[in-house]
Amino acid sequence: MSGTEPRRFLIATAISHYPHAPAELEWDRPGLVEARRRIVELFTEELGYTHVSDLGLNPTKDQLARELREFCRSPERRADDVVAVYVAGHGEVLDNGDYVLLTADTEPDDLYDALLPSTLARKILAGTKVRRLLLMLDTCFSGQGGNELLSAMARLKNDWREDEAGLAVITSAQPRELAQTGAFPELLAEAVTSFATAGCTPPLLALDAVVNATRTNPKRPDFQHIGLEIIGLTGEIPPFLPNAKHSNRLSHTDMALQQAAEWDEQDKRRDVEFRTRLLRRAMGHSDPSRVGWWFSGRHQALHDITAWLADPAAESRPALVVTGAPGSGKTAVLGLLAAVSDPEYRRTVPLASIGVRDSQLPRPKAIGTTVYAQSLTDQQIVRAVAAALRLPQVEAVADLLNHLGTRPRPDRPHVVLVDGLDEAATPTSLCGQVLRPLMELAAPHLRLLLGTRPHLFTALGLHPDDHIDLDSPRYADPEAVLVYTVRNLLDAHRDSPYVDCPHDIRLGVAHAVATAAGNCFLVARITAGTLAATPDLPDPCDPAWRRSLPSAAADAMHRDLHKRFGDDAARILALLRPLAYAEGQGLPWEDIWAPLASELAARPYTNDDLHDLRRDAGAYVVEAVEDGRSVYRLYHESMAEYLRRGQDSVRVHRTFTEVLRRATPYHLDGGRDWSRAHPYVRHHIATHAAAAGLLDGLVTEPDYLVHADCDSLVVRLPEAESETARLHASVYRASIDIHRRLGPDDRRQVLAISAARYNEPALVEAFNSRARPGVWKPVAASGALVADNIRNVLTGHSGAVYAIRCTELDGRPVAVTGSDDKTVRIWDLTTGQPVGRPMTGHDEPV
């Protein structure tokens, strides 16, 4: 989409009266007058459309076609205009199967002269500047009209060369269903304002999410299902339905974004990560409706990191690692530094109120890029760093370093902040195979500021001086924990009893909470939040009460949930638990979160329960955006660890896999239509399936391979077990450097070629069977007989492989590998099997 908002126009009409129809036919629908009014109200007041009112009510066939045509051919129309047309009335399916829309002049004995929906769409699109049309048909059997319209309009697609151009048809009923008068506007209005469709962050609503929300609405008549068909519109989410809830509370963030002329995809992802993770943690609270910064103290850590950023001998210290136990404030410290490094964000940080002097902080642009590593693969991190350095897209560290070698020496290195290393898809591999080579070989172009839990520090191979441990005596800040506790006692709940209580009681309670929390800001936050929501004040001098205060995040969360919600805590836990296993930026609400909670808890939960959760326990949940849609995750990884405690992870991931499969639509022949799967499914089902031991079932579906997210799938392919699954994995990997950048149609062709090279005609046919008409279908390819050894995955090491050498042993080709697991192995390259037992004895990784 362009950076400016398009003009949006609504044309709404309803045929409520049929003067030529006898009363016994019951064609008249007086309730459609109100239905039209509700649509006009929704689109003009909530969605920002201008209503074009010339058409009015009860138009004839010619009036409807002529008015639409004149509007769309007007010289005032622009190619970026968005046009929505709502037509309500009576629909019929003729004996020949055609759907017709009955207008005010329709003769009951001559329905073959009634209006075809394809005629309606051609009047709007053919030869006009209109390139984005949303057509809403609110009639009985309208789904049949939608199908026919899409089929008839396919040839016009050649005129829509822009990704964002196309036609979307929302029908109030399926082909053989009746439509209840007034149901469609009511269901649509609730869907576009529902949190099941989107939260407050995405600027646009996905049409399929809106339609799914109408289908799960308990007010929907049992006999009526709203439908959606789309042709074209292959780019981002089409701008038909602006999100009326969209309101970035962090307005300065969006101002900075709006000033940028263009942002590539990596920049957008990094910005989402920064705003929803680092910036929120730096502010000290998760609720975007609250104003102000709650950050406190940690001056020594800020000083030392700032000194590292300003170090003139930058090449001698290419990396600095910030560690600490969960809840010690790593992300908050790094988030504050990243915020003040950006010239736009820096002006919004209230340095005086959080007790930090401007001179204690780094200069503007000291940190160039921030990356939050949770769920990211090694290749995704490499691409993020390459984008930060404005290098061509690369897939491997070696390629990145080669590009840097051609660059002139910069005045100062670009600092990339990578937080959450321990939450990456493969943390050990990330540290050993990506970050260590960058530290050693990317100077003077790059420096790395890293955040992780302590156990990964040794994997990075750094000197202890390049390490800031927030739990050490030098950096621990008990006073900051106390100040943060007081702030939470006062502001964590709007009816907090600590606002008007005596100062000595408030300070005594805060001292007790902070003492129990130790260096953990997260424990202090949760415990103080529990107390702020409790009307009764404790006696801070009571030894028994002080002993009851939690010192670990899991205990604090357990105490908070059970104290605030009592018997209802089990329901809150059940609703939160799916978020503890969410991948990527978080779990979508729409038709996935509630079913997962239901399956995991073995009791039904609905969207109403999620609304209650948002109201009662929203402080535990953070909204983010992935693929333009709202997703939700827990505020802190420690909360996820608490919710995963005692759970059968294989069972949980099996449930995830099954629910995500069920959420995927079907083709008419009964196969899964992966092209219409929710983005979360395409991105992350492989991760869940691998953890559940169900990956083979996915990998052996050729159409899934066509539509799956390459980055998340390729990491899991070595876990394929069956012969067929391993074959499909080999075919996929053989051309991944080519097809990972392609759309589904082109990827299908490339995968078919790879299958032909492996001499697998059945797999070639499986890929070709769902190719679009008119697309060439590979039949054979050179290099058909691929040696078996290329298919082998050498499985045996339990850690990352750091060294490999190919040679011969007794005349047979072998590979010798050294690993992080401190062993050396020999592999027969002809069979792919290990030779002998692993060689042990090393005290360090090989």
Stretch 663-667: mean pLDDT = 88
Mean pLDDT, rounded, for 317-339: 91
For residue 313, CA distances in Å to 184, 310, 363 come to: 67, 9, 17
Query: Residue 177 and residue 218: Cα distance in Å, rounded?
Result: 18
Return the minimum-mean-pLDDT range out of 80-94, 475-489, 799-813: 799-813
| Rounded distance between C-alpha atoms, residue 675 and residue 701, angstroms | 13
Task: Answer whether residue 486 shows pLDDT above 50.
Answer: yes
More confident site: 734 or 261: 734
266 or 562: which leads in pLDDT? 562
What was the pLDDT predicted at 234? 65
Tokens 């959760």 locate to: 613
Confidence of residue 254 (pLDDT cuts 50, 70, 90): very low
**Does the pLDDT of residue 629 top 90, yes or no?**
no
Is 604 found in the same domain as 504?
A: no
> 84 - beta bridge partners?
10, 134
CATH number, position 384:
3.40.50.300
- Domain membership of residue 563 (yes or no) is no
pLDDT band at 771 (very low <50, low <70, confident <90, very high): confident
Q: Indicate whether 244 belongs to any domain.
A: no
**Which band of pLDDT confidence, cut at 50, 70 and 90, is reported for residue 742?**
confident
Confidence at residue 350, expressed as pLDDT on a 0 to 100 scale? 85
Strand, helix or coil for residue 435: helix
Task: Mark whether 614 and 483 lie in a shared domain.
Answer: no
Q: Please determine, for residue 253, whether its predicted confidence score (pLDDT) is greater than 50.
A: no
Q: What is the pLDDT of residue 782?
A: 62
Of 517, 551, 585, the residue at which a domain comes to its end is 551
Report which of 786, 788, 795 is spatially closest to residue 827, judged by C-alpha positions.
795
Tokens of 614: 């948002």
Closest by alpha carbon to 207, among 175, 236, 177? 236
Residues 601-622 have pLDDT tens digits of: 999 999 889 988 888 888 788 8
In a shared domain, residues 450 and 583: no
> Could you tell me if residue 544 is inside a domain?
yes
pLDDT at 181: 92
Give the number of other CB atoms < 10 A from CB of residue 169.
27
Q: Are strands 227-232 and 319-323 parallel, antiparallel or unpaired?
A: unpaired
Give the least confident one: 27-31, 397-401, 661-665, 807-811. Answer: 807-811
Residues 535 and 635 in one domain: no
Question: Within a domain: residue 241?
Answer: no
Do 304 and 430 reside in the same domain of the chain?
Answer: yes
Q: What percent of the chain has pLDDT over 70?
A: 93
Question: pLDDT by residue (tens digit) across 172-219?
Answer: 999 888 999 999 999 999 899 887 788 777 889 999 899 988 988 888
Residues 691/662, Cβ–Cβ less than 8 Å: no
Question: Considering the entire predicted model, what is its pTM?
Answer: 0.71
245 lies in a domain?
no
Task: Give pLDDT, residue 813.
Answer: 82
Q: Number of structural domains, the chain?
A: 5
**According to the model, what pLDDT value does residue 321 have?**
95
Per DSSP, 815 falls in state: E
Q: Say yes or no: 489 and 516 in one domain.
A: yes
More confident residue, 793 or 405: 405
Given a contact cutoff of 8 angstroms between Cβ atoms, the answer to whether 581 and 558 are in contact is: no
pLDDT tens figures, 59-102: 999 998 888 888 888 889 888 899 999 999 999 988 888 889 99
Q: Check whether residue 428 and residue 332 sit in a common domain.
A: yes
Percent of all residues in the chain with a pLDDT value above 90, rounded to a whole number: 40
Mean pLDDT over each residue of the chain, to the nearest integer: 86
**Residue 204 in domain:** yes
In the predicted model, what is the mean pLDDT of residues 590-596?
90
Rounded to whole angstroms, how far apart are CA atoms 184 and 168? 16
> CA 51: distance to chain centroid?
34
Buried b (16+ CB within 10 A) or exposed e, 769-782: ebbeeeeeebeeee
At 255 the pLDDT is 32
Q: Which of 496, 516, 551 is the last residue of a domain?
A: 551
**pLDDT score of 832 more than 90:** no
Q: What is the DSSP letter of 366?
A: S
**Shared-domain flag, residues 41 and 73:** yes
Is the confidence at residue 45, as pLDDT, over 90? no
pLDDT at res. 291: 61
The pLDDT value given to residue 235: 62
Q: Which two tokens stand for residue 590?
A: 């729409």
For residue 28, the enclosing domain spans: 8-232
Token look-up 């002993």 returns 547
Buried residues in 650-662 as b, exposed as e (16+ CB within 10 A): eebbbbbbbbbbe
Structure tokens at 560: 């908070």
Give the mean pLDDT of 696-702: 95
In a domain, 845, yes or no: yes
Q: Per-residue pLDDT tens for 517-572? A: 999 999 999 999 899 988 999 999 999 999 999 998 889 998 988 888 888 899 99
Residue-level pLDDT at 783: 57
Residue 238 lies in a domain: no
d(CA 50, CA 10): 6
pLDDT band at 259 (very low <50, low <70, confident <90, very high): very low
What CATH number should be reported for the domain holding residue 111?
Answer: 3.40.50.1460
**pLDDT value for 483:** 92
Q: Residues 271, 272, 276, CA angle at the centre, nearest 5°?
A: 120
Residue 208, token pair as written in the block: 């399929």
Per-residue pLDDT at 156 exceeds 60: no
Q: Which of 418-422, 455-459, 485-489 has the lowest mean pLDDT?
A: 455-459
pLDDT of residue 276: 75
Residues 717 and 587 in one domain: yes
Compute the distance between CA of residue 608 and CA of residue 629 in angstroms, rounded to an integer: 20
Q: List strand residue ranges (DSSP E) for 213-309, in order.
A: 227-232
C-alpha span between 501 and 290 (Å, rounded): 22
Q: Considering only CA atoms, give the Rg of the chain.
A: 30
Q: Is residue 178 domain-shared with residue 121, that is, in the same domain?
A: yes
Residue 301 sits in the same domain as residue 417? yes
Same domain, 426 and 500: no
